Structure 1
């Protein structure tokens, strides 16, 4: 493993895949990998060629959590926690759809890394645990915020207080996994899912993601105001007239997210129906 990068990054047709690459530790995240993740997420958010992001792990595991094998260190834990917080926020606020491809274990911060993605695809062999209590620790990487929103308060407390290990089917029943896909089919499934997301209107998808992420913390009045502002942003892209043109020409729309405010005197074609 010496000399190999702890995080692999590859691009294919608008999809960037980040692979945690510490299989000898079941991809437990050490300080180097936390920093690499932070930098990679920041880079993905600033690269318009990236239209979707996949996070996965090498060697048959997703992530066994934060690497605590080093024992006590000279650096105060508060400074390391800041990097974790940056990773969680960058993933949550990334303007492109994100997919966690989970094989093997996803525990502790590793599970919360998966839950921080917009969609989670797991194989039947995947296992999940909020293992923190077994280590004398409390939730981190956004788990205290994510879990109650996904499963409700009582189930969140069950997972956090008992630190049980659950399988992929139970995780799906609790709305913590979006799809369970047999291992031989999972790569093709995620590839197809990524392609479908890449084909979508990037600005509108970013708006949808932000609206849904912020929704639970907003009143209906706030949500409606945010929707109106988001829709105004969408109408300033080339994707709205492209969708109309593609519909009339009976073809698949080619979305780019390009800025396309009409010039003075230019009137866009009307769709003749609802914009929603």
Structure 2
């Protein structure tokens, strides 16, 4: 199963970079860092639909780091929720595939996100509502690390712990970089795990590119029997898979990929020259 997910993640990275190239704008660094997390969630962890009509899962997923929308769109295409060809419409006028997820245009988007901190706050509200309904459905929210400099994140964390929302899992895409520089240079987050524990959360730290470890801990979080929510701090690499993007803040976004940068990125992700040409026929 993990080998299959690795293969899927590789394809999703290529599709996301292809869409960003055609958009002439986007956030490739933070998109590439979270692909493995999204792949495991959508292809292995989120419950199949049984009750929620019009949805892709009985569980809830909120992309709190909304600027990583190209990764969400690419994984949606891999699940058959949209056509791959539609990814080429990223950030285009009148396209449903805007730079941040828009619930009014895409029925499989749970929450419109983009203003950092709001996604985890809405996820917390959904988790509380599911508790009141005695529902077994679980809520997952993916945050960026720079996003945690927003006070609203910690208000949500305090509320979730107070209400014992063990049906809520926050996942931090901890790539250590944000728009202009490292987190440490802008507003240091460490000791991050201790901060979450101090707010009353269970904390797990994991390699965010280790498919097996992600499967293990994300599945375990769905069966959380403790009286507190869980946060999975996923240590990732910004720009994962593209050597000239990795660990370089410049590639946070919004950037325009030149033809050569696009081709070099696709080659780095495992595309042959012929496969790059074939993308233009999608």
Q: TM-score, normalised by structure 1?
A: 0.31
Higher Rg:
1
Q: Higher relative contact order by CA 8 Å / sep ≥ 6: 1 or 2?
A: 2
